[in-house]
Amino acid sequence: MEAKLFEAACSGNLQPLYDVVGQSGVAALLKLHLLGSIETPLHLASMFGQAEFVREYMKLSSLSAHQLSQLNQDGCSPLHLASAAGHLEIVTFLLEFGKQKSAVEELCMKKDRDRRTALHCAVVNGRIDVVDVLLVNCPQAAKEVTAQQETVLHLAVKHHQQESLEFLIGQKLGSSVEDLLNVGDREGNTILHLATANRQLQTVECLVKQPNLNVNAENSYGLRALDIMYACALNSKDMYIEEAIRLAGGCRSQLAATTNQTRPSHDTQNTSRGSISLADDWLKELRSGIIVMASVFATLTFQVALTPPGGVWQDWGSNATTMSNSSVVPAHQPGVPILYNLDPKQFNKVTRLNTLTFMISVATIILMIQPFKIQSLAPGKLRYVVLAPYVVLFNVIFMAVDFLSIGTIMTKKSPTSSHFWRTSFHWVLILVFAFFFGTALYFLPLRRGSRPSQNTQSSSQNSSP
């Protein structure tokens, strides 16, 4: 019977509920709420959004406020589950029932195992409409903190809920937002610390506009928001985040600026590890692509050496040359490349260039298969890893010159020589343009986003109030 009732709660079928009450009375429903921290049909219906089932269940069972806020084995009440899932109708009905029992505050202040309220669950999942209803019925819930001393603003930033954060700061919290902007969590991190560590540029720009925000607040380790940014892995948004914070009056702490040694907090360590993980994935894809291209070039150059363009002579030359010592040397010998007889000097240059390209390709493959990770590289050495594709670009250039040299030999005395060079000239221009364009794309962002030197930081510290 209970199994059918639980299935009905998930599907919203009311008939099994009526059957249970008709056969065993209301006591059968109340009995489910007397066993402590267990899952009840009300929990399931609230989680799956079965509003009509919740309504009828509440009417038939006549639960008390304490039973209504009962936690399941996962430490969640029906209001927690409905708020997290965004079931506004169920949240509204539960709050209306709480008003009838004069227990709205008890419902809204009930905390799960992580000491999160229903408001916290709604903020974490970005349920703005639910957040609105909960704050209207219980405004004091906004000041509650979790087991990690996190406020609703901390949770909004930590879980990347930008809309929830803007809704809370701009519309819902009112004057109480001043008390929450500079509150630190268990490790003293304010929401600006978290937003900076997570590289949330939009969030940082939103926060620095708040007149009561302390941009130079320090956490338990004495680190400010700018110190947190320098303690984490490099990111393309660093320049803009630093600019936004500095324009709002932010600066590095004296200790971090002078020693250049920081100790990231737990959240910043997690963020740094996440950034390093993404960088490692990027590095793995970069290495794979370089290895593939280098393998292609090694194959092409090996093939040129094995079977030179134009082939090799298959017989002895019929036109012999008589030397001064009366010895007869044939015009060509079997196995000698035909291009060599056309222009020996130019062919030797092609051979050396082809060999150089082959060796560079092999060396690139050997270097790229070495196991290394981002965290094992110093920041200054990371540039050399990113420059690795340019090694492949040099291979492309060598292959192009190789091609042009072979074409020069083959069309040296051909009527198509002028057409060959006109066509080649256009390809050379495209290759040169691609090289300089790619170089500009790489170096310009580095120059714009380069961090100030230690002297610049020290001077900014001395000039800051």
The predicted-structure confidence for 50-90, as pLDDT tens digits, reads as follows: 999 999 998 888 888 888 888 998 889 999 999 999 999 99
pLDDT at 445: 44
Q: Phi first, then psi: what are they for 396, rounded to 5°?
A: -60, -45
Measure the CA–CA gap between 132 and 370, rounded to whole angstroms: 54
pLDDT at 460: 40
Measure the CA–CA gap between 283 and 288, rounded to whole angstroms: 9
pLDDT at 3: 83
**In this structure, what is the dihedral angle of CA atoms 277, 281, 287, 293, given to the nearest 10 degrees?**
-170
Measure the CA–CA gap between 22 and 205, rounded to whole angstroms: 60
130-152 pLDDT, tens digit per residue, is 999 999 999 999 999 999 999 99
**H/E element holding 108?**
helix 104-109
Residue 406 DSSP SS3: helix
Of 158, 134, 129, which Cα lies nearest the Cα of 144? Answer: 134
pLDDT at 43: 92
DSSP labels, 61-100? H---HHHHT---TTS--HHHHHHHHT-HHHHHHHHHHHHH
In sequence order, the 6+-apart residues with CB closer than 8 A to the CB of 10 are 44, 45, 48, 50
Measured at the CA of 423, the angle between CA 422 and CA 429, to 5 degrees, comes to 90
Residue 214 DSSP SS3: coil
pLDDT at 427: 64
pLDDT at 45: 93
Please identify every stretch of the chain with a pLDDT value under 70, giving residue numbers as ranges.
Answer: 1, 35-37, 232-236, 254-283, 317-332, 335, 370-393, 395, 402, 405-428, 431, 434-435, 437-465
Measure the CA–CA gap between 138 and 13, rounded to whole angstroms: 32
pLDDT at 148: 92
Amino acid at 360: I
The tokens for 211 are 């007149």
pLDDT at 202: 92
The tokens for 354 are 């082809």
Measure the CA–CA gap between 236 and 451, rounded to whole angstroms: 11
In sequence order, the 6+-apart residues with CB closer than 8 A to the CB of 185 are 148, 149, 150, 151, 154, 267
- C-alpha Rg value of the chain to the nearest Å: 36
Q: Name 329's bridge partners.
A: 321
In sequence order, the 6+-apart residues with CB closer than 8 A to the CB of 391 are 290, 360, 364
Measured at the CA of 317, the angle between CA 334 and CA 339, to 5 degrees, comes to 65
Place of tokens 């092609």: 350
Establish how many alpha carbons lie within 13 A of residue 336's alpha carbon, considering only the half-sphere containing its beta carbon. 17
pLDDT at 455: 38
Of 193, 200, 114, 117, which Cα lies nearest the Cα of 159? Answer: 200
pLDDT at 2: 76
Of 63, 153, 75, which Cα lies nearest the Cα of 101? Answer: 63
